[in-house]
Amino acid sequence: MKILTTLKRIPDPEQKLKFKGSGPSQTLDLSGANWVPNQFDEYAVEAALRLTENASAGNARLGEVIVASIGPKDVSQQLRAALAMGADRAILVDGKDEDLDAEMVARTIVALVQREKPDLLLMGKLAADSEDNQAGQLAAAYLGWPQATFAATIEAVEGGKALHVSREVDNGVETKRVALPAVVTVDLRIILPQAVKNGTTKPDFAYAEGPRYASLKGIMAAKKKPIEETTMQALGVQSKLRVKTTALEAPPPRKAGIKVGSVAELVDKLKNEAKVL
C-alpha cells in the first residue's frame, strides 16, 4: 500500500499564547513559539506505518509512506522527525500559515495525490491550532474519493482493496467501508495498541500505545532520506484565499473562583450564591 500522509507544524499547545499589537491590529506573537507536529498528524504517520509494516516479522516494510507538509523551510525539522519514525520520504511545499486556508491546503494535497497516486490519503482530523477540520473532507470531495473521518480504528479488508474504519460519531461508534483509494482522517484513539490491522501483521499483535519514538537507527536513516522541496506554483495550484482572519483577541477571562472548605459549603454556594441547584 502506498500512503500519503500530511503534517502541519503548530505552536506547542502546552505553551501559553502571546498576543502583540492591540485593537483591530492585534495578532498572535509566535516569535517565541516552540513548534511541534500537530498531534493528529503524528498519529496519522503512526497509523500509516502500522498499515505498511509486518509487525509480527520485525516490522518488514509492506508499502511506502510519504509525508507532506505545506509550510516554511523550518518544517523540515518536523518532517525529519516523521522520517525518523519510519516514513520513507517527505515533500515540503513552501507556504506561510497566514497565506493558507483549508481550501489551499486541500488543493495542494490534491495536486500531490494526482502526482503520487497513493492508495490512501491519511490525514489528521484537525489542525489543533486553527481547528478548521476541513482539509481532509475537501480533498476527498475534490478527488471524488470516499472519506472516513475521525477514524478510531482502521482495518484492511477484501484483500487490501478496501478499509473498514470505525468512527466515533455523535451517539456511538460507526463502522464504514471505504474502497481504496480513499481519504481517512484520524482521531485520538487510532494510536491505541490494536487500533490498526493491515491484514498481514497478526491480528492479536499489540503495539505500545502512542506514536512510536524514533530509534537511534531511525534517526540516522532519516538523515539520508529525501525531503523534496517544491512550491504550489510548481504543482499547478491556483487557488486563492477563501477565508480571511480579520481580527483576533483573547477570550474574556473567567472570573476568579474560590476554594471551598467542605462539601456542605460547596452545596450551600451552589444553591444560594450560584443558584444552580
Ligand X SMILES: Cc1cc2nc3c(=O)[nH]c(=O)nc-3n(C[C@H](O)[C@H](O)[C@H](O)COP(=O)(O)OP(=O)(O)OC[C@H]3O[C@@H](n4cnc5c(N)ncnc54)[C@H](O)[C@@H]3O)c2cc1C
Strand ranges (E), 171-231: 172-179, 182-186, 196-197, 227-231
When binding is defined by CB under 8 A, the residue of 47, 51, 87, 182 that contacts another protein is 182
Nine-digit cell at 142?
A: 475534490
Q: What's the closest the beta carbon of residue 188 comes to another protein, in angstroms? A: 5
With CB under 6 A as the contact rule, which of the stretches 1-9, 143-151, 207-215, 238-246 interacts with ligand AMP?
A: 1-9
Taking the complex as a whole, how short is the minimal distance between the CB of residue 165 and another protein, in angstroms?
9
Nearer to ligand AMP, 13 or 203 (CB): 13
Residue carrying C-alpha cell 473532507:
137
Question: Is residue 32 a contact point for another protein (CB under 8 A)?
Answer: no
The cell for 168 is 466515533
- Evaluated on CA atoms 123, 128, 130, 134, the torsion sign reads positive
Check the CA dihedral 52-6-152-119 and report its sign: negative
Q: What is the identity of the amino acid at 97?
A: D
Fill in the per-residue mask, 134 to 173: x = in contact with another protein (CB under 8 A), - = not in contact: x-xxx-xxx-xxxxxxx-x---------x-x--xxxxxxx
Which is closer to ligand X, CB of 13 or CB of 203? 13
Stretch that binds another protein, among 58-66, 127-135, 196-204, 226-234 (CB under 8 A): 127-135
Select 58 or 251, whichever has its Cβ closest to another protein.
Answer: 251
Under the binding rule (CB under 6 A), the answer on residue 69 touching ligand AMP is yes
- Binding partner of 216, given ligand AMP, ligand X, another protein, none, CB within 5-8 angstroms per partner class: none
Q: Which of 204, 182, 127, 188 has its CA nearest to residue 153? A: 188
DSSP structure class, residue 15: S
Phi, psi of 268 (to 5 degrees): -60, -45
Least Cβ distance, residue 37 to another protein (angstroms): 16
